[in-house]
Amino acid sequence: MRTQVAIVGGGLAGLYAARLLHAAKVEWMLIEARDRLGGRILTVDEAGQPADDGFDLGPSWYWPRMQPVLAGLVAELGLSSFEQHSDGDVVFERMSRETPQRFRPVVQDQQSFRVAGGTGALVHAVARGLPRERLVLSAQVTAMALRGEHVELVIRHADGADETLVVGHVIAAIPPRLLEATVSFTPEQEASVARRWRDTPTWMAPHAKFFAVYDRPFWRDAGLSGTAQSMVGPMAEMHDATTASGGPGLFGFLRVDAEQRAALGEEALTRACLDQLARVFGPDARTPRAILFKDWAADPRTATAADRSAGGHPAPDPAPWVTGPWKEHLALAGSETSPTEPGYLAGAVGEAGRAVAELIKKLGAGGSRVGRSSD
């Protein structure tokens, strides 16, 4: 197989890069290891199946006033958004021997917004405008080799068969740490570059989210917003997860770390989370209609072993992410490499935009023409 540009990764960054290349009439192919698009964006119904209107097991929020590029994309795609529900009291659970306390929250300066339908709606809307045959799913890039003006990518399909894709340029829209851990390079990346990729935490990779779906938002009836913080656990913070179409739910980020989660198991964690929801929001919380749980640290398409112990926010750093012989042929473009919003959805969109603009400039200046449709 040959094409002009390979995009590695079908999360928001990879898909947005594909959208921009498609609009610029540059030939591309997107290679995605999972059997679905979206990467860390995963919106599901209460049965846990990917859905057009559901619960965000990955990202839920964006901040339109601070993130105009993402807000612009949401508008351009014709999607609507709504404010994170925060009317009502907040609950604080300080110690296990104390009853959780409720208090009036201070009004937030930068209100969080959610995309109607869930952030999965963003993925669907971007993917809708792209030719299906150029989106290759269940295909993992395992190696890249620089051969003169070309890059050869080895792609492993779900059945174990390997295929080679020859391109002029690669946009790697995957977290740098995952790139370093799962793709081999010939020639190897310079030691300082490989170290930096390895040391860059993948945002939220160590985390897990727990959802409880209910018949009605009973906490709102009691004057509670659904927001709670806890020093007790197993969840550290909880929020109203009710969907735009009114599917009531609560969710929480686990404070129990990845190793402890693996040791405890999902059943014990579920029981502990329901106990906590009942302590914080009242006895109705103990009997949800459905529960959902996603442990991102246990997902090898997002997290490496390093993410189970070393998380944190990637630090913005303007130094180049690729140096040496690879510089002309490889660009990194996932949310982690953003100099302004590393780790966020807005960072993924911004980085894809930057990588594509730089690539189009290179191609215009007479860069590689491998696989152009006119060849």
Ligand X SMILES: Cc1cc2nc3c(=O)[nH]c(=O)nc-3n(C[C@H](O)[C@H](O)[C@H](O)COP(=O)(O)OP(=O)(O)OC[C@H]3O[C@@H](n4cnc5c(N)ncnc54)[C@H](O)[C@@H]3O)c2cc1C
**Where in 210-239 is the site for ligand X (CB under 6 A)?**
none
Residue with smaller CB distance to ligand X, 12 or 370? 12
123 scored as a contact of ligand X (CB under 6 A): no
121 scored as a contact of ligand X (CB under 6 A): no
Helices (H), 12-150: 12-23, 68-76, 120-128
User: Pick from 22, 198, 220, 301: which binds ligand X (CB under 6 A)?
Assistant: 301
Minimum CB separation from ligand X for residue 263, in Å? 20
124 scored as a contact of ligand X (CB under 6 A): no
Phi, psi dihedral angles at 361 (to 5 degrees): -65, -45
Residue with smaller CB distance to ligand X, 285 or 349? 349
**Where in 332-351 is the site for ligand X (CB under 6 A)?**
334-335, 343-345, 347-348
**Where in 349-368 is the site for ligand X (CB under 6 A)?**
none
Residue with smaller CB distance to ligand X, 303 or 363? 303
Q: Which two tokens stand for residue 40?
A: 């860390």
* Residue of 200, 11, 239, 8 lying closest to 120 (CA atoms): 11
User: Pick from 64, 137, 152, 182: which binds ligand X (CB under 6 A)?
Assistant: 182
User: Pick from 24, 127, 134, 140: which binds ligand X (CB under 6 A)?
Assistant: 140
* Residue of 213, 280, 283, 273 lying closest to 242 (CA atoms): 213
* Residue of 59, 56, 58, 63 lying closest to 111 (CA atoms): 63
Minimum CB separation from ligand X for residue 282, in Å? 26
For residues 175 and 302, the answer to whether their CB atoms sit within 8 Å is yes
251 scored as a contact of ligand X (CB under 6 A): no
User: Pick from 173, 212, 224, 331: which binds ligand X (CB under 6 A)?
Assistant: 173
Residue with smaller CB distance to ligand X, 61 or 218? 61
Q: Which residues pair with 143 in a beta bridge?
A: 154, 184
Say which residue the tokens 């100099």 belong to.
339
Residue with smaller CB distance to ligand X, 59 or 168? 59
Minimum CB separation from ligand X for residue 109, in Å? 17
**Where in 49-108 is the site for ligand X (CB under 6 A)?**
58-62
User: Pick from 7, 12, 18, 51: which binds ligand X (CB under 6 A)?
Assistant: 12
User: What is the DSSP track for 69-109?
Assistant: HHHHHHHHTT--EEEPP--SEEEEE--TTSPPEEEPPPPPS
Residue with smaller CB distance to ligand X, 157 or 361? 157
Q: What is the dihedral of CA 110, 112, 115, 119, to 10 degrees?
A: 120
Look at residue 162 and give its three-state secondary structure: strand
**Residues written for the chain:** 375
Residues 6 or more apart whose CB falls under 8 angstroms from that of 261 comprise 208, 254, 269, 295, 297, 298
Measured CA to CA, the distance from residue 274 to residue 289 in angstroms comes to 12
Q: Which residues pair with 141 in a beta bridge?
A: 155
User: Pick from 32, 180, 240, 307: which binds ligand X (CB under 6 A)?
Assistant: 32
For residues 14 and 24, the answer to whether their CB atoms sit within 8 Å is no
Exposed/middle/buried for residue 80 (C-beta within 10 Å: 0-12, 13-18, 19+): exposed
Residue with smaller CB distance to ligand X, 4 or 337? 337
User: Pick from 3, 7, 14, 252: which binds ligand X (CB under 6 A)?
Assistant: 14
Residue with smaller CB distance to ligand X, 85 or 209? 209
Residue with smaller CB distance to ligand X, 279 or 326? 326
Contacting positions for ligand X (CB under 6 A): 8-14, 31-34, 39-41, 58-62, 140-141, 173-175, 178, 182-183, 203-204, 207, 209, 296, 301-302, 334-335, 343-345, 347-348
